[in-house]
Amino acid sequence: MSPIPADTQALMERRARVLGPAYRLFYETPLHPVRGEGAWLYDADGTRYLDAYNNVASVGHCHPHVVEAIARQAGVLNTHTRYLHEGVLDYAERLLATMPPELAHAMFTCTGSEANDLAMRIARSHTKADGLIVTRFAYHGVTSAIAVASPSLGKFVQLGDNVRTVPAPDSYRIAPAQMGAVFASGVREAIADLKAHGMRPAALMVDTVFSSDGIFTDPPGFMAEAVDAVREAGGLFIADEVQAGLGRSGDSFWGFQRHGVLPDMVTMGKPLGAGHPLAGLAVQPEVLAAFGRECRYFNTFGGNPVSMAAGMAVLDVIEREGLVASAQRVGNYLRGRITELAGRHALIGDVRGAGLFTGVELVTDRAAKTPATAQTVRIVNGLRERGVLLSATGEHANTLKIRPPMVFTETHADLLVDTLDTALAAL
């Protein structure tokens, strides 16, 4: 670890004094970016870093088309959704057109946490049940109702009494032909445990690339049996697409489409606005009906005109620049090159993912598949010192999480892989 520069140390101390003890920073030597462009971040000294982690800036940092759309609308009108406005209708229609026609209603929030919170309120109204099933190291948000269903937040966040966790579908340790059955078995056991405690499942909520659990994307279709299981028990399937959506998986616009399943609700987050606070959900009308009768929904700035302009601009960029096909091509290229590294570095146990979502699991023993947690920390920080930004994920924090803006190219991939090669060799 390099010594922390004095100006960085001063900023860290000021941050702790003003923001308090609950916030956390990335990296042993924290980054101080002051500018972003495309797949790059620039720090206060002008040093540039390849951003291989930030999916929120979905179409790249400060994309000119998105910036211009936000500025133009901000100069005309920004207000709430209790007035009529064409912008929210135009965007809702365009967003819903990317999904199966059964998902016919859209509702908007400012964050993915709010979207998942709202989805659970709707699920409870529809099913008259309360149970929620998530994966064992899931992350779905930070509202009080959703933090208790986000075990990846840490051991001091107590799961709700109504929450049951199931093992993630670990494709590194489970044979492809067994993935669906094993995952569904966990869901059935969770349903049975809820029943034993006098509860019924309202929903199974799944991040469709299992990002926090370690990134498990294949084989396509393995989720179907688990979705059937929760529906047989009277529950709903909520696809959390905050991280997987907008074509990131390369072969489909939404992660759930890779598995051939139809969600009752789809939740989305800030990638919709390339970082602008735009989020929301799509829902089947019959699922929303009870909530609509029993409640009114009001989110002061969910669906505001500026957010809608941002969302429209992001869809423009994805279409005009062919970013879905690019995600598929570049992601395959990236994983191919990292797989080549595995021939030289025994620490690489598994390379997996879809499109521009890649997990590289590091192990100390390939035969035993022993998590290399300490080494992963060193690699992540070694990459940061060499100008490449990513993080680690999974229950043992031993999987490199590569999730760049979708403007990531083969040239960027080459830089990432060459730098990873150097960092691995340095161990």
Q: What is the mean pLDDT of each run of 10 residues along the chain (427 residues)?
A: 83 92 89 96 95 96 98 96 93 98 98 97 97 96 93 87 96 96 97 98 97 96 97 98 96 96 97 96 98 90 95 98 98 98 97 98 97 98 97 96 98 98 96
Tell me what pLDDT residue 191 has: 98
Which of 283, 304, 320 terminates a domain? The answer is: 320
186 and 285 part of one domain: yes
What is the distance between the alpha carbons of residues 44 and 37, in angstroms, rounded to a whole number? Answer: 14
- Confirm whether 16 is domain-assigned: no
Beta strands of 273-413 (E only): which ranges?
279-283, 348-354, 357-365, 370-371, 388-389, 391-393, 399-402
For 11-75, the three-class secondary structure string (H helix, E strand, C coil) is HHHHHHHHHCCCCCCCCCCCCCEEEEEECEEEECCCCEEEECCCCCCCCCECCHHHHHHHHHHHC
Question: Domain check: are 106 and 191 in the same one?
Answer: yes
- 109 and 42 within one domain: no
- The number of folded domains in the chain is 2
228 closest CA partner among 185, 192, 197: 185
The pLDDT assigned to 201 comes to: 98
Same-domain check for residues 403 and 343: yes
CATH code assigned at 406: 3.90.1150.10
Q: Are residues 309 and 342 in the same domain?
A: no
Tallying the residues shown for the chain, one arrives at: 427
Among 320, 343, 375, identify where a domain stops.
320
Same domain, 289 and 377: no
Is residue 255 a contact partner of residue 209, using CB atoms and an 8 Å limit? yes
Mean pLDDT rounded to a whole number for the chain: 96
Q: Are 230 and 204 in contact (CB under 8 A)?
A: yes
Domain that holds residue 366: 31-59+323-426
Task: Provide the pLDDT for residue 1.
Answer: 61
Domain final residue, candidates 275, 292, 320 = 320
CATH number at residue 175: 3.40.640.10
Residue 281's pLDDT is: 98
Q: What is the pLDDT of residue 5?
A: 87
Whether 396 is covered by a domain: the verdict is: yes
Domain check: are 42 and 153 in the same one?
A: no
CB neighbour burial string for 276-301, b if at least 16 within 10 angstroms, e if fewer: bbbbbbbbbeebbeebeeeeeeebeb
Question: How far, rounded to the nearest angstrom, does the alpha carbon of residue 129 sit from its chain's CA centroid?
Answer: 27
